[in-house]
Chain A
Amino acid sequence: MDFAFTKEELDFRREIEAFVKEVLPPDWDEWAVYWPGSYGTMPQLEAEFQEISRRFSRMLGEKGWLGIGWPKEYGGQGSAMKAAISGDVLSYYRFPAGGVATTIAGPTLILVGSEELKKEFLPGIASGEIGFWLGYSEPNAGSDLVSLKTTAVDDGDAFIVNGQKIWSSGAHVTEYGWVIAKTDMDAPAHKSATLMIIPNDTPGVTIKPIINICGNHSFNEVFFDDVRVPKRYVVGEVNKGFYNVMLALQFERMSVGSGGFRRVLEELVRFARETERDGRPLSEDPRVRKALAAIAVEIEVFLTFYWQSAWMQDRGQVPELEASALKLVFTELSVKLADTAMDLLGPFGLLDKGSKRAPFGGRVGMGYLDAISGPIGAGTSEIQKTILATRGLGLPRKK
């Protein structure tokens, strides 16, 4: 047992911190939107932050940090721990970079992609030039993904894709879809679909915005109308799409900004010390002290899971159940943190971004709304619990 970082890891953390402090605009905290553990307030998905986000992504790419967790033969350092440290630092500072390309598409391509696909996409991902969006859910296929209706029909050297995806975060600000579609209409449902990459600029792709309840344009509906996808863009084997999506989901479920939780806690502690009510600081109120202590304990639990999953990957283990547990824990924590913050701020927590007198630039009110998305996205909390119960504890599935 050893819960300490090595000197090399601590040095790496300092290096990233120094870089972030150097490049971020000095007033960044006043306008950065981001609530940890949720999906609707990522600055890198906002149109207004695209210029800065793209620039920062390329800078991270130049440093070699985007693919730092990848194996050495793909330009990485093969260190999941370093990737976790980088994620921790970047989210602490609400750094507007990173996403599906580096945390989900890249690692999945490395495991199941063809050599041709790896050559075509990994360099662009590692350098921060290209971005991906996920095309899994459909209007009638959410948790029950195998009911998807989008089809990809064999047409010689290509598939012809027709259908609709929904909740596709960032489709409006990235270049490539990571899409699952039905390729065998007669096979059993779980052996009927294929994962493929679809460039946004392919004729027949239409992207329509959906405004989330925070007021942000983070996700989209995407329509496919006779979209021709070359077969070389198939990820992994044909008709093994659900297997490959499950693999990609493990990476997605472990993708969380741990530092953001630490940051909000620090801010709430400072707020409690600096805010007076009835002539004394909030921090002297036993109810406030208990509430902040309780959330600090849960953040600590989450952090041990976070570092543990990186440690496991570096030992060559595949965190399947751990990914589900981590996702369950951090998204429920996102809600608890928002509740705690809201209770601490009282009516000031309701003040929105841009309002006079809004503490933390209105991030708490927005975070309270955004926290709703955490336990819903990337497989709901209920889905994670069912995975843990059936695959982890061996409880029988419903007949």
Chain B
Amino acid sequence: MDFDLNEEQKILQRSAADFLKKECPKERVRRIEETEEKYSPDLWRKMADLGWMGLHLPEQYGGTGWSFLSMAVLLEEMGYNICPGPFISTTLLGCVPLLHAGTEDQKQAILPGVASGDLILTLALAESDRGYEPSTLKVSGVRSDESWVIDGVKLFVPDALSADHILCVARTSAASEPGAGLTLFRVEKDHPGVTVTPLKTIARDNQCEVAFDHVRLGPESVIGPVDEAWPAVKAALDRAAVGRAAEVVGAMRATLDMTVAYAKERVQFGRPIGSFQAIQHYLADMWVDMLGTRNLVLQAAWKLSTGEPADREVSMAKVRAGRMGRKATTVGHRIFAGIGFTMEHDLHLYHRRTVAADFAFGDSDSYHERVARALGL
């Protein structure tokens, strides 16, 4: 066993922390949140110049070829600094299905554009019953001569406003078994019949409704085998879930740092509130919660990087981060009290994201259910 990052990962961690501290201060986060797309083309370009967009892409597509674990290390730093934008949507939800199931032509057409920072992607998956299980998907893809016609509404599609391409999971035949009958299509956002409507969230991220109204696509739009898209989609979903959990670990670390600093300087009853055991015990718990969540997230990222089945590790990491991220920011509010309940203070920026992360790519109940299945229940 080795609980340490390797040298490359440590350098990545340090350089990401330095870059984000300088380029992504909280004033900028707040300004970006005020835009409709919730993203800054300028910051995106700089991140691409550092090689972040292609960090885990093979070199022949303009990437660096590092492991998913390195992505998790980067995402923890992005979470620490609340780096906004369609990073997970593009690099994980968008690229992973292409890497897993795309043809060489499809990969060449998209991935180098992602690595250079020119293309933004996302994945349209969940629908009105908010599930991320394949059985809940009803948006239809019907074959018509050589082409396909997509109809239906996708919800909670992240970053669709800024995306150039949307990958859409559609039901192309009845499910003969769980996961069967689904096909993945690539659609350009301005394709006739595609309507993107932003959904305003308390997390102040960009979630969208994407309506497909008789969207006619050519056969080249199909990514991977017809009716058998689920393995590639699940690979993306698992990585996005762990990526989001890694961001939560960063947010928990940041919340702990902010709160500990405040508990040392805030004086009540003639002494720093951090000298009261009520506060000390809150913070000790927050610290241990963060360290344990971090271990599960790194374990899941490591397991995914080995290519072995990782359902158990992924589900455990996602559900732990979802619950503990919310707990940490909630406790942070207890300690900051009144000042933390203002727009002026930074804590809410984290809390908005930790609560959103708990519901991202499936809620805690759904991940607990996946753990239960992994236990043999």
Contacts and interface: CB of A to CB of B under 8 A. Distances in A.
A385 B296 contact: no
Contact of A385 (B281, B302, B316): B281
Contacts of A382: 277, 281
A390 B260 contact: no
| Chain B interface bracket (under 10, 10 to 19, 20 to 34, 35 or more) | 35 or more
Contacts of A289: 368-369, 372, 377
Given A4-B1, A273-B377, A297-B319, A325 B260 contact: no
Interface in A350-399: 382, 384-386, 388-390, 392-399
A223 interface: no
Q: Which of B3, B281, B283, B296 has the most CB of A within 10 A?
A: B3
Nearest to B274: A395
B145 to A, nearest CB: 45
A301 interface: yes
Interface string A303-332: 011011001100000000000010011000
B268 to A, nearest CB: 13
B241 to A, nearest CB: 14
Interface residues of A, number: 47
B280 A389 contact: yes
A16 B7 CA distance: 35
Interface of A: prevailing SS? helix
A272 interface: yes
A1 interface: yes
B295 A296 contact: no
A283 interface: yes
A382 B301 CA distance: 33
A396 B372 contact: no
A5 interface: yes
B369 A389 contact: no
B326 to A, nearest CB: 15
A81 interface: yes
B316 to A, nearest CB: 5
Contact of B280 (A272, A296, A325, A395): A395
A65 B285 CA distance: 35
Interface in A273-297: 273, 283, 286, 288-290, 292-294, 296-297
A1 B69 contact: yes
Contacts of A297: 296, 316, 319-320, 368, 371
B46 interface: no
Interface string A116-151: 000000000000000000000000000000000000
Contacts of B150: none
Given A269-B375, A329-B292, A394 B284 contact: no
A301 B313 CA distance: 11
Interface string A255-271: 00000000001000100
A260 to B, nearest CB: 17
Question: Taking each of A4, A81, A300, which has the highest tally of chain B beta carbons within 10 Å of its own beta carbon?
Answer: A300
* A4, A5, A384: most-surrounded residue (chain B CB, <10 A): A4
A398 B1 contact: no
A290 B295 contact: no
B272 interface: yes
A386 B369 contact: no
B281 A386 contact: yes
Contacts of B256: 393
Contact of B295 (A272, A308, A398): A308
Contact of B284 (A290, A294, A300, A389): A389
A68 B271 CA distance: 48
Given A301-B296, A304-B295, A311 B3 contact: yes
A12 B282 CA distance: 40
Nearest to A388: B284
Interface of A: 1-5, 81, 265, 269, 272-273, 283, 286, 288-290, 292-294, 296-297, 300-302, 304-305, 307-308, 311-312, 325, 328-329, 382, 384-386, 388-390, 392-399
